[in-house]
Structure 1
Amino acid sequence: MSELIFYTNPMSRGQIARWMLEELGAPYEQRIVQYGPEMKGPDYRAINPMGKVPAIVHDGKVITECAAICAYLAEAFPEAGLAPTAEERADYYRWMFFGAGPLEQAIINHAMKWESPEDKQAMLGYGSYELAVETLAGWLADRDYVCGDRFTAADVYVGAQVDWGQAFGTLPPHPVFAAYAERLRARPAYQRGKAIDNELIAKAKAEAEGASA
């Protein structure tokens, strides 16, 4: 049996990788990495020199970055049916990398209020926040999922961006996004992943409150 180790912190993008792992249904070993000295220390930096989570180690190979983790796991565990078919491949990779590049850049810059002057937008990989948002909304307007009617690993990554954006306001309350997020939240694997991370978050908060009492 292959070895699959998952390094994460529940209050991180590790929730995306967790959801993907739950979609696989394959066993994995969880290792919680605390922010601060542990995450930035030499032991964890031997896994990810960036000192950030998530990361996975599969049969001795390290994979970091959520989009890469999703794409890798879909191919490494084909029995889960989350990798694209030949017909889906173009849409799958196009929107997976759109989410990891232009969309995430646009969302973060907008949230940080780093707005580019109109005459400088050509230097950006996304033009403007509004353009990136409407481009994704336009694609999802007449599709249930990124590749059409079928859920794939691209929906874990792109869907996590939309889900987070709807919950925390980093994306506008667009009806297309709301409907897409609702479909994703109904998935059993999504619910299992959220339950695990929410329990870990609650436990960490209780321990912190107990230590400060």
Structure 2
Amino acid sequence: MSDEIVFYTSPMSRGRIVRWMLEEVGRPYRTELIGFGAMKEAAYRAINPMGKVPALSHGATVVTECAAILAYLADACPEAGLAPEPAARGAYYRWLFFCAGPVEAAVTNKVLGVTVPDEPRMRGMVGYGSLEAVLDTLEGAVSGREFVAGERFSAADLYLAAHLGWGMQFGTIPKRPAFEAYAGRHAGRPAAVRAREIDDGLLARQAAS
């Protein structure tokens, strides 16, 4: 992979998930810190018209959205072993995008105080159904197994563990034993520790400036 990887992020954002992935991949990358005001400026909106981080550029390729960035890096850096073989990716895709879809939507709605009506037809219009259904499904996925997609750690595990860890830390996801065991185990990976140290150091420098 000869083209430079440029990582656009803020240390207190979902970019922390991508930082972890980049540290797992082990390829050199350059970090561009984007302030929340600068995210809405034309220069950065040329990278991501949504005006948010994270984003990744790799040569002429630009990728946004955490799940897409993780999947892209796993495919662009196969030597890191962060995606199963193509024929064995059913569970990998399932849980990677379950987290990007139902988990993200259900947790965000909880934080915003949005309640799905109990009326069956209305509930059926909401893809995740209910927060409890999402959490119960997620608990079933991580209970009694080390990895959600095969016999080794993958980008799907990284994404789920990062979401669970963040959610439990800030109270948006309840601390169920299965969640704590799964997220805690993967948060101890050397790449996860390095990523946290980098972003925490950037936060400390921002606070001191």
TM-score range, shorter chain: over 0.9
Deviation at 1:44, TM superposition (A): 0.4
State the match for 1:146 in structure 2: 148
Matched, 1:23 2:24: yes
5+ residue gaps, structure 2, are: none
Checking the alignment, whether the CA contact within 8 Å between 1:140 and 1:146 is kept in structure 2 is yes
CA distance in 1: counterparts of 2:8 and 2:96, whole angstroms: 22
Question: Which range is displaced more, 159-168 or 195-204?
Answer: 159-168
Taking the TM superposition and a 5 Å limit, the aligned residue runs for 1:152-163 are 152-163=154-165
Taking the TM superposition and a 5 Å limit, the aligned residue runs for 1:163-202 are 163-202=165-204
Taking the TM superposition and a 5 Å limit, the aligned residue runs for 1:57-76 are 57-76=57-76
TM-score (norm 1): 0.94
Question: Which range is displaced more, 108-117 or 127-136?
Answer: 108-117
Identity %: 52
TM-score (norm 2): 0.96
Q: In structure 2, the residue corresponding to 1:22 is in which secondary structure?
A: helix
- The two structures, once aligned, show a CA RMSD in angstroms of 1.0
Question: One-letter code of the match for 1:160?
Answer: A
Alignment deviations for residues 127-149 of structure 1 (CA, whole Å, 9 cap, x no partner): 00000000010111121121143
Deviation at 1:35, TM superposition (A): 0.8
CA distance in 2: counterparts of 1:200 and 1:135, whole angstroms: 35
CA distance in 2: counterparts of 1:149 and 1:161, whole angstroms: 21
State the match for 1:53 in structure 2: 53
Alignment deviations for residues 103-142 of structure 1 (CA, whole Å, 9 cap, x no partner): 1100110111111111121110100000000001011112
Checking the alignment, whether the CA contact within 8 Å between 1:106 and 1:126 is kept in structure 2 is yes
Checking the alignment, whether the CA contact within 8 Å between 2:161 and 2:187 is kept in structure 1 is no
CA distance in 2: counterparts of 1:11 and 1:182, whole angstroms: 20
Question: One-letter code of the match for 1:23?
Answer: E
